Amino acid sequence: MVEFLSEYGGQLFQEILQHLYISAISLGLGIIVAVPLGILLTRAKKIAGLVISLTSVLQTIPAMALLAMMIPLFGIGMTPAIVALFIYSLMPILRNTYIGLTGVDPNLLDVAKGMGMNNWQSIWNVELPQAAGVIMSGIRLSGTYVIAWTALASYIGAGALEI
C-alpha cells in the first residue's frame, strides 16, 4: 500500500480532484437550474407534469449512451461529461423541489397571505424553509448519482477516477 501511494499518490490525488471538480460543477448547475424551475412549476401546475415527465425521460437514458451522445456536440473531455451529468442531476432535484413545495401546509400559506406577504416573500420565508428537507434529499440523491456516474466520464477523456 505504501509503495503504491509513493509511486502513484500524485496521480491518484489529481484524479480524485478532477472527479470531485466534475461532480461539483454538474451538481451545482443542476441545483441552479432545478430548484428555481421547481419553484416556477408550483406556480404553473398545467405544465408541471410535462416538464417533470421530460426530465424523467432524460433520466432513463443510460449514462454511457448519454456521454457518447455528448461527444459530437461538445467533443472529448470535461465539457461533455459535465453536460451529461448535469442532465442526470436535474430529475431528483426538480421532482423533490416540486413535491416539497406543493406539500407545504395550505394553512401556512393562508397565514403568510394574511400577514401581507407577497408571492416571493411567501416562497422565501414560508415555503422554502418548510420544503428544505425534501429539497435537500433530492440534492443528496442527485449528488450520489453524479459522483457515481462521474467514473464513466473517464471513458470520454474527462480525467476522473476510472472504474
Helix or strand run (H / E) with residue 73: helix 63-74
Determine the pLDDT at residue 162: 66
Q: Supply the pTM of this predicted model.
A: 0.88
Q: 416538464: which residue's cell?
A: 51
Class (C level, CATH) for 17-40+49-156? mainly alpha
pLDDT digits (tens, 9 = 90+) for 6-54: 888 888 888 889 999 999 999 999 999 999 999 999 999 899 999 999 9
Q: Is the pLDDT of residue 57 over 80?
A: yes
Q: Is the pLDDT of residue 128 over 80?
A: yes
Q: How far is CA 50 from CA 27, 135, 156, in A?
A: 23, 20, 32
Determine the pLDDT at residue 163: 60
